[in-house]
Structure 1
Amino acid sequence: MNEPTPRMPAIFVGHGSPMEALGGVYADTWRALGARLPRPRAILCVSAHWYVEETAVTAMSTPRTIHDFGGFPQALYEMSYPAPGDPGLARRIADILAPVPVRQDQEWGLDHGAWSVLVHMFPDADVPVLQLAIDQRQPPAFHYELGRRLATLRSEGVLILGSGDWVHNLRVAIRAQGATPFDWAERFNDTVKALIVAHDHGPLIDWVVLGQDAALSVPTDEHYLPLLYVLGAQQDGDEVAFFNDAIELAAISMTGVTIGRAA
């Protein structure tokens, strides 16, 4: 008799710099987390770096590794993450999200928001990976609602993975040059964690109500919106656990959260 498929967690990862692909303390935590997870049937990643004017899902059998950055060591450009895709799951996602049109993409692949994390979480690259594009035209509640609909995939063995940084003020981080984390960045990081624990998603969907700390932490939304997909997939009774709880470069959060049992 076949055992029931375990309900996979939904995970948000603060992915930070592409340099994390080469390893370090944050990457070590991702690797340990991946080792604790039940093996997924597939992974659906929502990355800050596929931010376009549509909803689309990668639907090819062999997604390419995208090196969507510049000015980094050659070793990064030589890295590949040859995970397979899953065209059948891409069609299933389109069905779940209907009537929202979901283009079946044959061009994108896996950007560094996906593979720089997955190269540690699942280093064998033997689990199918799909990416879902973020439609930049849509309001935050739209993204949360897509996450709510996609939650059913958790019971089908699919790991939902959001990849961004819920504090991401790159302009300020560059100017700060690695100074002590700003007070507003630490406060907003703590506020987000407290609201997730309380399952109080309203202020996280409409984060502007959280005031100046939110305005400074989320000057643009592409790195924040992947969190809303993960929160939308949160279900009653899900355990919540945080990892890599830190602010890098004064204004970039590495904090991640696992929603649901990871072991």
Structure 2
Amino acid sequence: MTRMPVLFIGHGSPMNAIEDNAWSRAWAQLGRDLPRPKAVLMVSAHWETMGGTALSASERPETIHDFGGFPQALFDVQYRAPGDPALAQRAAELLAPQRTVQHPTRGLDHGAWSVLAPMYPDADVPVVQLSIDRGQPNAWHYEAGRKLAALRDEGVLIIGSGDIVHNLRAVNFRTGETPDWAPRFNEAAKALITAGDHQPLIDWESLGPDAALSINSAEHYLPLLYVLGAQGKDEPVSFFADDVFAAISMTGVQVG
């Protein structure tokens, strides 16, 4: 079986699920170009837990509309990809001895379906979501990615969905102006990713004020650590949808 790549996708606004733009087209191209996965394991910024990691174990996960203030057309989206309880159990085994919970009813949040809808519009690839345990230190999330990397040889596409730069408080919605620290940190992060120098990215608090402003509350950044943890030694990386809009980075990372 072909070893699957690993993706980090800068998902930005949920409107990207229904808009035809450069970002959604890049995601659609990935769906066409990559080997077809047996299933997707999704680490989304929009499922945070404390005191343990949860895995969606529903056979038919619902579409979660976890946002407000958007057009009705976005709330009408139903992304009906099947779940994969066996994959949820396999991921839990790989993460042991970390405490994990099989969540019987958890659906797919917009961090998942907004990028999967362009990639796999027929919703025919099973999807399991993995929560982000915010009680764990940064290095734990990286190590979790390393443990989950075995799934790559089992036909599973691991995707982290967030944004390298994500600070909604700093977004000027009137002008869309990009603060200078946003692209500066995005480029610094890309340089470290290209060099395979992951430790500073794990210890991002030590990277200074640009990182503090860019990463902010960190839930959109942490999925990147799973992706980097799943990278093999000397495995190539590349970037796609490489753009910073206001204080949000749309930059995607492909490992392998």
Identify the TM-score tier after normalising by the shorter chain: over 0.9
TM-score by length of 1: 0.95
Instruction: Show the counterpart of 1:137.
Output: 135
Q: Deviations over 1:153-178 (max 9, x none)?
A: 00111000000001001001146640
Letter in 2 for 1:228: L
Instruction: Show the counterpart of 2:144.
Output: 146
Identity across the alignment (%): 61
Instruction: Show the counterpart of 1:155.
Output: 153
Where does structure 2 lack aligned partners over 5 or more consecutive residues? none
Which of residues 248, 258, 261 in structure 1 aligns to 2:254? 258
| Equivalent-residue separation in structure 2 for 1:227 and 1:117 (angstroms) | 15
Which of residues 187, 196, 200 in structure 2 aligns to 1:199? 196
* Runs of 4+ off more than 3 Å: 174-177
* Aligned residues of 2:58 and 2:106 also touching (Cα < 8 A): no
Letter in 2 for 1:6: T
Where does structure 1 lack aligned partners over 5 or more consecutive residues? none
Q: Structure 1 residue 12 and structure 2 residue 18: aligned?
A: no
| Equivalent-residue separation in structure 2 for 1:42 and 1:239 (angstroms) | 22
Mapping of 1:21-32 within 5 angstroms? 21-23=17-19, 24-32=21-29
**Could you tell me how far 1:78 is from its partner in structure 2?**
0.5
| Equivalent-residue separation in structure 1 for 2:36 and 2:25 (angstroms) | 18
Q: Deviations over 1:198-235 (max 9, x none)?
A: 11000000001110110110111100000000000000
| Equivalent-residue separation in structure 1 for 2:204 and 2:195 (angstroms) | 15
**Could you tell me how far 1:101 is from its partner in structure 2?**
1.2
Instruction: Show the counterpart of 1:111.
Output: 109
| Equivalent-residue separation in structure 1 for 2:221 and 2:172 (angstroms) | 19
Which of residues 183, 187, 194 in structure 1 aligns to 2:184? 187
| Equivalent-residue separation in structure 2 for 1:177 and 1:256 (angstroms) | 24
TM-score by length of 2: 0.97
* Aligned residues of 2:57 and 2:106 also touching (Cα < 8 A): no
| Equivalent-residue separation in structure 1 for 2:61 and 2:94 (angstroms) | 22
| DSSP 3-state at the match of 2:46 | coil
**Could you tell me how far 1:151 is from its partner in structure 2?**
0.5
* Aligned residues of 2:6 and 2:255 also touching (Cα < 8 A): yes
Instruction: Show the counterpart of 1:88.
Output: 86
| Equivalent-residue separation in structure 1 for 2:250 and 2:123 (angstroms) | 23
**Could you tell me how far 1:52 is from its partner in structure 2?**
1.6
| DSSP 3-state at the match of 2:171 | helix
| Equivalent-residue separation in structure 2 for 1:176 and 1:218 (angstroms) | 22
| Equivalent-residue separation in structure 2 for 1:217 and 1:107 (angstroms) | 33
Which of residues 42, 45, 53 in structure 2 aligns to 1:45? 42
| Equivalent-residue separation in structure 1 for 2:85 and 2:105 (angstroms) | 13
Instruction: Show the counterpart of 1:126.
Output: 124
**Number of positions where the alignment pairs a residue of Structure 1 with one of Structure 2:** 254
Letter in 2 for 1:10: V
Instruction: Show the counterpart of 1:71.
Output: 69
